Amino acid sequence: MIKAILIFNNHGKPRLSKFYEHYTEDTEQQIIRETFHLVSKRDENVCNFLEGGMLIGGSDNKLIYRHYATLYFVFCVDSSESELGILDLIQVFVETLDKCFENVCELDLIFHVDKVHNILAEMVMGGMVLETNMNEIITQVDAQNKMEKSEAGIAGAPARAVSAVKNMNLPEMPKNINIGDISIKVPNLPSFK
């Protein structure tokens, strides 16, 4: 079973956290920090598995992670999951994100956290793998987008119009945010290794 799925950047800022077991908000934050601490100190090109931190259940659980450019994708799983299988699942997740967002980058995850959650929900449910077929996942996501669009077409038009006008004043708004020391935009999915 997958206990938790965490995405954070190189500085430990959480970008997505999904727990499939119940912890208090406080513990969740501590788990994120502990996991970041465990994962970030590891070199590149070491293995992708390590024993979980104490907070999430110690050595009974494994952390399986991948590091893409600025982001760590970490799955915390128990012994009933195949390590390599989960590693591939992370890859599927990222490839799916990449397709949905067109060259996904950290900013996409920040500004569309709801979408990321929806995509993840198509793959993992209650801690179990629901679907691994990328086309199937994307079909579902597309269907949802269509429904969203059609609803927006009827009811959202006025709001959308206003927002469009406002956007004109800030033409580059989302792309031009001062992000300090973080360089985000990654040309394409770096092939792992």
Partner 1 sequence: MPAVSKGDGMRGLAVFISDIRNCKSKEAEIKRINKELANIRSKFKGDKALDGYSKKKYVCKLLFIFLLGHDIDFGHMEAVNLLSSNKYTEKQIGYLFISVLVNSNSDLIRLINNAIKNDLSSRNPTYMNLALHCIANVGSREMAEAFASEVPRILVAGDTMDSVKQSAALCLLRLNRTCPDLVPMGEWTSRVVHLLNDQHLGVVTAATSLISTLAQKNPDDFKTSVSLAVARLSRIVTSASTDLQDYTYYFVAAPWLSVKLLRLLQCYPPPEDGAIRGRLTECLETILNKAQEPPKSKKVQHSNAKNAVLFEAISLIIHHDSEPTLLVRACNQLGQFLQHRETNLRYLALESMCTLASSEFSHEAVKTHIETVINSLKTERDVSVRQRAVDLLYAMCDRSNAKQIVTEMLSYLETADYSIREEIVLKVAILAEKYAVDYTWYVDTILNLIRIAGDYVSEEVWYRVIQIVINRDDVQGYAAKTVFEALQAPACHENLVKVGGYILGEFGNLIAGDPRSSPLVQFHLLHSKFHLCSVPTRALLLSAYVKFINLFPEVKGTIQEVLRSDSQLRNADVELQQRAVEYLRLSCIATTDILATVLEEMPPFPERESSILAKLKKKKGSGTVSDIEDSRKERNVNANANVNGSSDHTITNTSAKPPPSFACDLLATAPPPTNRPRPIPSSSMLHTPLTPLSPKAYTPQPVTPTVPFYQVTSSPSSDLLGLGNSSAVNSASPPTSSHAASLLVDVFSESLPVAALGSASAHVIEENFSRFVCKNNGVLFESQLLQIGLKSEFRQNLGRMYIFYGNKTSTQFLNFSSSVVCPEPLSSQLNIHMKAADPVLDGGAQLQQILNIECISDFVEAPVLNIQFRYGGSTQNISVRLPVTLNKFFQPTEMTSQDFFQRWKQLSAPQQEVQKIFKAKHSMDTEITKAKIIGFGTALLDGVDPNPSNFVGAGVIHTKTIQVGCLLRLEPNTQAQMYRLTLRTSRESVTQRLSNLLSDQF
Shortest Å distance, C-beta 46 to partner 1: 4
Decide whether 85 or 183 has the Cβ nearer to partner 1: 85
Shortest Å distance, C-beta 34 to partner 1: 13
Shortest Å distance, C-beta 14 to partner 1: 6
Query: Is 15 in contact with 8 (CB distance < 8 Å)?
Result: yes
Decide whether 48 or 70 has the Cβ nearer to partner 1: 48
Decide whether 55 or 101 has the Cβ nearer to partner 1: 101
Decide whether 130 or 183 has the Cβ nearer to partner 1: 130
Shortest Å distance, C-beta 187 to partner 1: 16
Sign of CA dihedral 36, 40, 44, 47: negative
Q: How many residues does the chain have?
A: 193
| DSSP-assigned letter for residue 191 | P
How many degrees, rounded to 5, is the angle at CA 140 between CA 133 and CA 159? 145
> Which residues are within 8 A (CB) of 53 and not within 5 positions of it... i.e. 6 or more apart?
31, 34, 35, 37, 38, 63
